[in-house]
Structure 1
């Protein structure tokens, strides 16, 4: 899904808010009814959850922010941290009067952190939040090499570094030569660049955001106990084929969050909530949207 695809429906509107540090945050809205904010994950933009937004738009006003560094939103700034994510979300909530929030992966952790401090959040649904509880040094140790490769203009190599570091690919990736993986990723990037339209969010344009996702994951690693403070109703979602290293977080959150419900979708993977496309052929946003509808309506 790309930012170019956002205007595909005439019902979608775009507005802006200013976060506490002066950064402009863009968000797109569709539908009628109580407000829901859908916050995208890594290597995604606001346009990555359009299908889910459209599936909910008959009963809710759905708001799709572009997180910092993407789309029409402003840059990260020099002191990026989870606090910036919370402040950005707070600005959107105040502008829209929404009380329900969905986050996935990295944004799922940010949403849970926001639920600790923002009384405006009444209900939170998160899909496989990227809360690292095991093997943290390895799962965050890729950032230094990633930064060096990006600084040298080796974007394909940097993407491979992040994928291997976060164990995002199939097991075969762990035995394939890194050079071959980099060559294959470069071919995919060239093909995508060739067919991209102005404003499209490609792997190349989104690659720099991975540094900041790494910063977020590192900051929030091993912070399970703090989420005992969450007073909002929480829906924990995941797929049976999701990322194995995130399942401990779901189990831990299920035990420590006071008002919690957990659902695992048979056969779905980590990217199930996103729109179906070349990068996400196994997406099932309709299935995830059905649970959000139930949870946010109750």
Structure 2
């Protein structure tokens, strides 16, 4: 999707913070809420696949691109208020959320009456919240020291995203590899790209959200919205049990697991998502579109 096909807009959240978004397409409104280490532009292919039938809003969550900064007490409530501002401006009754964004969309469906249909790709709802706070102090220290690569490694283990083979690699080697990967992305990035190095500080807020919602499955039994629950067989292992639990808890839910798809399969290929494939984005978008058209 070219930049010319995306228009920009902004809303003001409850605390006065500006939340910017991109917009494309025609028809009923759908808000797409990106996940961790992503921005609004991470789902342009997904938006393009829906644009013939829906007006798609792609907000930047706080700390990124078009939107204002996190506040010191940032948490799930702030995220829901930001999403509510976009939903209200768009007149949207539908939302698609990815990873931590999926967790926010699910919490919004529990607490807001405006959402009638939601689709979630690997929502970041885990069994226990407490362990997901333990690594944040080290992460914050490394960010403060300017050692972004080390902080990224810390968050990878903190979120339990590391594949088994990485767990036996020396931490120094992982840090070196991460630094090289970020440098390579920066060399090829255009002016509109929000790079991994720029996104890294936002991980603190993601960790806070995951910890806050950890173990809250039973609360979602009150969700009235229709839910499409999506994931991939190669997605994050730590999130798979949560989907199984949500499938049992949510009153109106349909679940699809895509064979061979990973945690980034709904997102545009790029530096932070090197395994992304356009055909996977289109397939997921087709399922979401069909669901939203019901």
TM-score normalised to structure 2 length: 0.95
Q: Paired residue for 2:293, among 277, 291, 297?
A: 297
CA deviations over 1:217-248 (Å, ceiling 9, x no partner): 11111111110111000110000111111111
Q: Partner residue of 1:275? A: 268
Q: Partner residue of 1:64? A: 58
> Structure 1 residue 191: deviation in Å?
2.0
**Counterpart Cα distance in 1 of 2:270 and 2:146:** 27
Gaps spanning 5+ residues in structure 1: where?
1-5
1:142 to 2:142 alignment:
no
SS in 1 for 2:41: helix
Name whichever of 115-124 and 194-203 sits farther off: 194-203
> Structure 1 residue 140: deviation in Å?
3.6
Gaps spanning 5+ residues in structure 2: where?
none
**Counterpart Cα distance in 2 of 1:21 and 1:156:** 32
SS in 1 for 2:81: helix
Q: Partner residue of 2:46? A: 52
> Structure 1 residue 208: deviation in Å?
0.2
Q: Partner residue of 2:83? A: 89
**Counterpart Cα distance in 2 of 1:194 and 1:60:** 35
Q: Paired residue for 2:234, among 238, 241, 248?
A: 241
**Counterpart Cα distance in 2 of 1:144 and 1:77:** 17
**What is the total number of aligned residue pairs between the two structures?**
291
> Structure 1 residue 18: deviation in Å?
0.2
Q: Partner residue of 1:39? A: 33
> Structure 1 residue 295: deviation in Å?
0.4
Asked if structure 2 preserves the Cα contact closer than 8 Å seen for 1:44 and 1:206, the reply is yes
Q: Partner residue of 1:3? A: none
Q: Partner residue of 2:18? A: 24
Q: Partner residue of 2:115? A: 121
> Structure 1 residue 144: deviation in Å?
1.4
Which structure 2 residues correspond to residues 53-202 of structure 1 after superposition, within 5 A? Answer: 53-134=47-128, 136-202=129-195
Name whichever of 194-203 and 122-131 sits farther off: 194-203
